Structures are given as C-alpha cells and as structure tokens.
Amino acid sequence: MATSQSIDKDRKNELTGQLSVKIVVDRKAIGIIESQHITECYFIEDIFSPCLTGKLIFVDVYGFFENGPLTGDELIGLEYGTDEDRELTFNIWKINKIVQTSPTNPTDEVLTEILFVDESYYNMYGNATSYSFPAETKYTTAVDYLLKNMLGFKEAEINMEHCTNFHADPIALPYWPLAKSIRFLLRRAKSNKTSLSGYLHYNNTDNGFKVNIRTLNWLFSSANIMDATPYIFEDTTTDVKNKNKIWEWWGQGVDKTSMKPSRGGKWRAVNTSLKKLYEAEYTYTDGIDATTAVGTKSLFPDISDPNSYHRLTGENSEDDLKMVLYDEWVKSYDTQMMFNLIIPGSEKRYAGQLLEIKWPSITRKGNIPVYQKQLNGKFLIKSITHSFVGKGNINYMQRIIVLKNGYQASESEYLLNIPKVKQNISEAASAKEKTTLTRI
C-alpha cells in the first residue's frame, strides 16, 4: 500500500511538498494530474479511525470523464514528500461532483471532486462474514488472524500490542463487518504491556504505511516514539525552515455530555451460558490511578459519580466486564482536552506519535523563555490532515489534533495527583525547569 517513488527533486522547495496524483487502472497509471490543475487535495489519518480517508478536487483538462470514462473502480495514487518520497494508493469511494466552470465552454475544464479511502476500507466495512475461534484463543491472536487472512496485511505492516487474556469458550462472531468484529475483540483485550484495555485499531503513515493495534496507555507512555525536536510557536523563533513551528492553534472545549463515562458508573453483565450476573463499579479516581498520563495532575478534580452511568451487557467473565468498562472510561477521559495545530507538512509525522510543545506563558521576562506550567510538555497526535493546497508550487501543510490527558504541573489543590509510576513527563519538568503558572 505504500512504496518509495521518485519525485523530481528540482521541483521541491523548502517547506513545500511536491504532489503528484495518478489515476490507476489494473495497477497501471492511465493519467497523471499535474499539480497546476489540483485545486485541493488532502487525506486524514486518525487513531480513532481504522482507515485513511481523503478528498481530491481537480480541473479535468484531460478528458477523464469523456474518454475514460470514470467508473469509480479506478485507484488514486498520491506521490508526495518533502525530505522523503512517499506513495499511497487509495480506492475511490465516491465521485462526488463534476461541475461546469466556464459558461462559454461548458464541457472544458470541468471541476471534478473525488472522495477516496485506503485499500482496506471495502473489506473492513463492505463485507460481512461470521468467524469462529477455538476456546482459549487470545483476543489479539484472533485480531491478528483477521488482519492477515481477511484483510491481506503482511506481518511487516502490522504494529501489534498483544494481550494476555483469552475467551474461555469458543469465540463465535456473528455476521458482522470486519471493523465491528475487530472492535468487539479489542474492547475485551488486556494488554501485555499495561495490563489494561483501551485498544485502538488504526492505519497511519508511519514509515510509509502501518496497521496499528495499540492501547491509549501505551501511546501516552515513554515506550512510544517521540519527535526529538520540540514544537515551538511562530513568534518565538525566526527560523523559517523549522518544520515544527506552530503557525496557528486553537483548542476544543470540554464537552460535559461526552464526559459522562469519565465520572464512573455501574456495569452489569450476564453470562447466559453459566446463568451468572457480574457487577462492577468504577469511579473517576479509579481511572486516574490506573491511567498513564503526560503530566503529574489530572485534568479535572474528583468528579466521581457511580450513578452517572449504568450499562447492561453480556460478557464471558467478570474480567471481560472490567476490560470493557475501562475501555469506555479511558477513551472518554483521554479525549477531553484537544488542540488543533497548523504546521508545515512533513511525511515523517504520523498519528499516534508523541511530541513536546514549548508552550509560552502569558508572563514574559524579556528574552528569558518562560513556559506555562500546565500545558508545557508532551502531547499525543490524535489525527493528521495532510493538506496540499495551491496550484503549481504545492504548499504542504498539516493540521494536527493533539491530546493531553494530564497537566505537566499545577498549583491547583483540587486536581488529583497522577501516580508517579504512571507519569510520562518531559525531562525539563523532571529537572524542575523554571516555569510559571498562568492565572486567568
């Protein structure tokens, strides 16, 4: 799905990424869309989405619609990169629009809009099949089988965080799409790295293309790969070639409705084979004590409310019930603080990577850098929108959404302490770098 290709180096300028788009039939290019005819092109990778998705808008001066014709069975090949050359191949999901652009020449230079998805999408969502696995099959072993045998991924394409638990009885998956079957299995899996659930299944552009089965706790931990160069804001540097310079940012506020699972709750599960009822109660503080965080303080004070959330489900064991419960809790809590960053594009950046932001304080002391206590430090990349805009000389930009699940430090007496063994904080914080708390 991803290979190294050659792009004309003479057309690559600093902080731009040359883009080439091919229309492919039977793995052979039938036409190349030149960059001067591309109005918009982007694709998105996200740790909460199994597939890459994107959009291409171009001026059809080639007569694809007339001479092809475009049927939707073609492939879209994207070649891009600033330092390295990358190629990704996508399926067409929808030929969305074909629009007249000139009143005098109604069929010349029509604007064509295509929505595309990566090559695993149709097998992931389009085909429903039932599967069974023998008793005591580990959940991630079943997922690994589906990825390799039903989706066709190779061992080298998969980053797998294996689990330790298994289903005591044979696993019989109903007539579901593969995406639903994989999600069902992963919600019950207990990681061999963190001894907790919270698994994600996503594709990203790590080293070209990778399929990832990772827990949120592992992604937030020091075991994950972090960009070695800190991210800085534009007004703090004059280095125009800095690829980790933040041009623009905005935050997404707390959604109290989506926070409901974070407060805790009571879960009950019925084992129909044994005619047994399992019960589990969970609180906000239970989650904070168990969760790996990029900080020393929780995002909220103790908001525990066991009566906030009630669920009834069917599970094989009490342990499975606890895994499903924590899976929902951690995905609710870890997504409560998001920031959008607009930065120069880089093909080496991918969803699921850690980064460090030098977050300036509102209090400045001349040329001495002073950083905000709470937001300074590490973040996890949730998603990246690879955006290629402008005709001719393509400007490669990225919009990344980053997550922070703990404050680096805080003087608030109401926030909870993250257990020391669960903290993944920057070396600067460990060395007690001089910072200040912004008061509003």
Token readout for 279 is: 């019960």
- pLDDT value, residue 2: 44
Q: What is the mean pLDDT of the chain?
A: 87
Entry field: residues in the chain = 440
Task: Decide: helix, strand or coil at residue 234.
Answer: helix
Strand 415-417 with 75-80, pairing: unpaired
CB 396 within 8 A of CB 80: yes
- Number of continuous H segments (helices) and E segments (strands) in the chain: 8, 29
Band (pLDDT 50/70/90 cuts) for residue 428 is low
Residues facing 252 on adjacent strands: 338
Instruction: Report whether 376 contacts 346 (CB < 8 A).
Output: no
Query: Cα(38)–Cα(98) distance, rounded to whole angstroms?
Result: 14
How many angstroms from the chain centroid is the CA of residue 136? 31
Decide if 271 contacts 278 (C-beta within 8 A). Answer: yes
- 178-187 vs 318-333: helix crossing angle, rounded to 10: 100
pLDDT at 438 > cutoff 60: no
Q: Give mean pLDDT, residues 17-27.
A: 78
All structural domains of the chain: 2-119 (no CATH), 124-218 (3.55.50), 225-440 (no CATH)
One-letter amino acid at 345 equals G
Q: Please, which residues bridge with residue 90 across strands?
A: 76, 118
Q: Is the pLDDT of residue 163 over 80?
A: yes
The DSSP secondary-structure symbol of 275 reads T
Q: Which pLDDT value is given to residue 239?
A: 64
Of 117, 75, 120, the closest CA to residue 93 belongs to: 117
Nearest-angstrom CA–CA distance, 335 and 200: 13
Q: Which of 112-126, 255-269, 281-295 has the lowest mean pLDDT?
A: 255-269
Q: What is the pLDDT of residue 368?
A: 77
Q: Position of tokens 């304080």?
A: 361
Confidence of residue 434 (pLDDT cuts 50, 70, 90): very low
Largest CA distance in the chain: 75
> What pLDDT sits at residue 390?
66
Prior bond of 106 cis (ω within 30°): no
Residue of 398, 324, 431 whose CA lies nearest to 46? 398
pLDDT at 33 over 80: yes
Model confidence pLDDT, tens digit, residues 240-252: 567 899 999 999 8
What number is the average pLDDT over the span 96-113? 84
Higher pLDDT, 226 or 67: 226
Q: How do residues 282-308 score in pLDDT, each as one tens digit?
A: 999 999 999 999 999 999 999 999 888
Q: What is the pLDDT of residue 320?
A: 93
**Angstrom distance (rounded) from CA 209 to CA 207:** 6
- Residue 114, strand partner residues: 56, 95
Phi, psi of 305, deg, nearest 5: -155, 90
